[in-house]
Structure 1
Amino acid sequence: MSFLAASSADAAPANPRSRVLLASLIGTTIEFYDFYVYATAAVLVFPHLFFPAGNETTALLASFAVFGAAMVARPLGAIFFGHLGDRRGRKVTLVGALLTMGIATFLIGLLPTYAMANWLAPALLVILRLAQGFALGGEWSGAALVATENAPKGKRAIFGTFPQLGAPVGFIIANGLFLIIAAMMPSDDPSRPSLAFLDWGWRIPFLFSIVMVAVGLWVRLSLVESSAFEKTVKTGQVKRLPLAAVFRSHWKELILGTFYMLATYVLFYLMTTFSLSYGRAATDAGVPGLGYSYNTFVLMMIVGVVFFGIFTLVSGPWADRWGRRRTLIWVTIAIALFGLVWVPMLAGGSFGVMAWLILGFSLMGMTFGPMGALLPELFPANVRYTGSGISYNVSSILGAAVAPFIAVALWSYGAGSPFWVGIYLTAMSVLTLIALLLGKETKDVDIEA
């Protein structure tokens, strides 16, 4: 592709661009694979296996609460790995985050259930989920920095879409694997997995993550540090305490970056975690849903996620041409309007549901893609890992940790209607729009400064 070709005027990159793109893509693919595996299990498996039998909605909310616990750990991981990344370098930090994440995910696949270990089972699940969140706190910002700090001039947003592309790729791998396992272990009840799936089948995707981590390590260990970090070291600008420096001198950027991501996070979790619950719930349940079988609805979601990937890549050239801020303002307005049309779209039968999934995931790609460049560009090189990581992960608490919980509560409040869930998305989009209007364009900043 032409945007990967090096200009004759550019200096030879320390890292080959194909390796940069692969290294930034593979880590976030694993990150989102782990997320989707856990999110799918939080809907299909954990309410049945890790919480006492009783009210199904209560068990689902408890499962989502554990899911959200990781988001609380993510800012702590961002601080820890951000400190290492701004002081010791991007490479060693990314390797550490990847190992922590992979080991925690693998161990979830070995956990005893509530029937085996009583309350020890959900307690261990919470601990490993917190470890996942801690590791994820350092993963995204490092991958985004690898992409943007090694990008050719004028192509940072395009390169920044590759770590973002890990979200749709991870979704397809994780849910494709779950789909294959579920098809091999069919259930007589479409609203509940089979006994074999609940007994041991659900563990396979968690255990498989160790293979993906090995591939990620192999790619990342071949990288060298970016020129932006090397310049920071050579000029003596490395901060002893990057966290203190970023709060002292760049607190406005921290706040803006956090709210830039808010609508993105809410949309992301509504279109993945909540939609899977809503789509599978029986139409005659206490809190009715769409009544699709797991296999059918996941296949529909995968079609939508293909559009997620396409528009993630499309958003890069848009953001490089028109600017990150201008692109995101229009996309955020579209997300706000999308939240207002949930009821008529979802009332339109299978065609309406499919259109809802395609539109939601397309908007997700358009808002998620530019973030790979925008958040790193808000901060100078000596606090970039810490600053971008904190913004990204604090937003995960405001948008992601509570989104599935709020969505299920609003779904119950609306007696099965998605109206209030859509309004929630619109309200969060308005907050992001305000932040974008208050912010400045970043596409022309010096990434090595």
Structure 2
Amino acid sequence: MSSTLVAPHSGAVANPRSRVILASLIGTTIEFYDFYVYATAAVLVFPHLFFPAGNDTAALLASFAIFGAAMVARPLGAIFFGHLGDKRGRKATLVGALLTMGVATFLIGLLPTYDLVGWFAPALLVVMRLAQGFALGGEWSGAALVATENAPPGKRAVFGTFPQLGAPIGFILANGLFLIIAAVMPSEDPSRPSDAFLNWGWRIPFLFSIVMVAIGLWVRLNLVESAAFEKTVKAGKVHKLPLASVFQTHWKELILGTFYMLATYVLFYLMTTFSLSYGRAGVNAGLPGLGYDYTTFVLMMIIGVVFFGIFTMLSGPWADRWGRRRTLIWVTLGIVAFGLVWVPMLAAGPAGVMAWLILGFSLMGMTFGPMGALLPELFPANVRYTGSGIAYNVSSILGAAVAPFIAVALWSLGAGSPFWVGVYLSSMAVLTLISLLLGHETRDVDMEA
């Protein structure tokens, strides 16, 4: 493999391939690391520390509601950073998004708890989550553009999987660190972390994120602007208001892109956030679950996430060979079926639970991988950052912000059975399937147009 890329049709030397891969991977790794750190803390820590004692289910729902607040801020971040990315370039925008995200995550690790400052504690947590969400709104689309706009001909989906690999890598880093801390600070009560963990141990993963951000900034500051953006500038096609342009001329693509991502988001957040709550809940609890201890279930999840990473990488060559639309139609049909077999799989004992995790995360890799190429391909270069960012992040509200909350409500409705949660997943996948059938193939579009 050559050490440099030649931008298609332009003759201009672009970024080295290794730098493209690392720059697109590092930001999304940090993004998903931050998500998993918060998602784990939302289950293990925040209900105990940031809300008044009393109703454990209410505290968990409140913690998930703050989790969802970040998703609401993401479309605003997509608009802000998309505007900068389409007017000022991809490089500087990516640096700004990463820095904002890193500072917000670090500050969560320094927040006072409810016992110290009362309701000011969850209020500060909301502010930090909004800042995280705002930054994340510009992170993914920028990373996807770095990968796809610098990809060799015929390999955009392969290169588009590198930012997607940040999800499984971020999961393993975040949960691996939490497992180490939990092992060093063991608890005698499997339903509750130890006092040391609650007092200060939970802060370590948040504070550690600053190290990853420093590495990411160093990589991204060494990027060269993409040939697609440079060509747009030279042709005088930069829009004064990319947001207005994308809504006027590409509103259909915005709608389709949003629903393309819906099943992906719902599956992702059910397999990570909801599953951790369901897996750890006692079989005789008020809201019964699987009854696993934290360490055992997270290790099982990490095994599933390995398959997530494997199938994310495999999905790129498949999408380049068979097309994004055809690949995703078959995968989405698989998600519909998967949601309907939750009860028999989870009732089959440890082997069934492990199979459920492996199958869910494998489907996650297959649906998430092609999105790194598909969403950017829906839009021309002069509104690509804005368009792909809005579609990706509006879908986060419809699929991610409400998924854990809805899942807990359906879990309660089923008196501990996950049946209705699985039906919810299948229903959202049907909406994605309809959008894919209404859409068109994007594999052969010109990324410099």
Q: TM-score range by the shorter chain?
A: over 0.9
- Counterpart contact for 1:78–1:138, Cα < 8 Å: yes
**2: CA distance between counterparts of 1:80 and 1:7?**
30
Counterpart for residue 407 of structure 1: 407
SS in 2 for 1:188: coil
- Counterpart contact for 2:43–2:277, Cα < 8 Å: yes
SS in 2 for 1:98: helix
Counterpart for residue 392 of structure 1: 392
AA aligned to 1:39 is: A
| Correspondence 1:73-222 to 2 at 5 A | 73-222=73-222
**Alignment deviations for residues 128-151 of structure 1 (CA, whole Å, 9 cap, x no partner):** 000000000000000000000000
**1: CA distance between counterparts of 2:3 and 2:54?**
55
Deviation of 1:14 after TM superposition, in Å, equals 1.1
AA aligned to 1:280 is: R
RMSD, aligned CA = 1.4
AA aligned to 1:445 is: V
Counterpart for residue 361 of structure 1: 361
Counterpart for residue 325 of structure 1: 325
**2: CA distance between counterparts of 1:421 and 1:408?**
8
Deviation of 1:54 after TM superposition, in Å, equals 1.0
**2: CA distance between counterparts of 1:212 and 1:262?**
29
**2: CA distance between counterparts of 1:96 and 1:254?**
24
- Counterpart contact for 2:6–2:12, Cα < 8 Å: no
- Counterpart contact for 1:47–1:59, Cα < 8 Å: yes
**2: CA distance between counterparts of 1:65 and 1:416?**
20
- Counterpart contact for 2:377–2:447, Cα < 8 Å: yes
SS in 1 for 2:365: helix
- Counterpart contact for 2:340–2:423, Cα < 8 Å: yes
AA aligned to 1:189 is: D
AA aligned to 1:240 is: K
**Alignment deviations for residues 185-231 of structure 1 (CA, whole Å, 9 cap, x no partner):** 00011111011000000000000000000000000000010000000
Counterpart for residue 373 of structure 1: 373
Aligned length: 448
AA aligned to 2:245 is: A
**Alignment deviations for residues 62-89 of structure 1 (CA, whole Å, 9 cap, x no partner):** 0000000000000000000000000000
**Alignment deviations for residues 63-117 of structure 1 (CA, whole Å, 9 cap, x no partner):** 0000000000000000000000000000000000000000000000000000000
**2: CA distance between counterparts of 1:236 and 1:354?**
54
**2: CA distance between counterparts of 1:328 and 1:429?**
11
Structure 2 residue ranges without an equivalent (≥5): none
Deviation of 1:263 after TM superposition, in Å, equals 0.1
**1: CA distance between counterparts of 2:278 and 2:383?**
41
Over 3 Å counting, the alpha-carbon distance change for 1:342 and 1:447 in structure 2 is same
Counterpart for residue 38 of structure 2: 38
**Alignment deviations for residues 32-61 of structure 1 (CA, whole Å, 9 cap, x no partner):** 000000000000000000011111111000
Identity %: 85
**Alignment deviations for residues 367-410 of structure 1 (CA, whole Å, 9 cap, x no partner):** 00000000000000000000000000000000000000000000
Give the TM-score normalised by the residue count of structure 2. 0.98
Structure 1 residue ranges without an equivalent (≥5): none
Counterpart for residue 225 of structure 2: 225
AA aligned to 1:77 is: G
**1: CA distance between counterparts of 2:4 and 2:161?**
17
Give the TM-score normalised by the residue count of structure 1. 0.98
Counterpart for residue 345 of structure 2: 345
- Counterpart contact for 1:111–1:121, Cα < 8 Å: yes
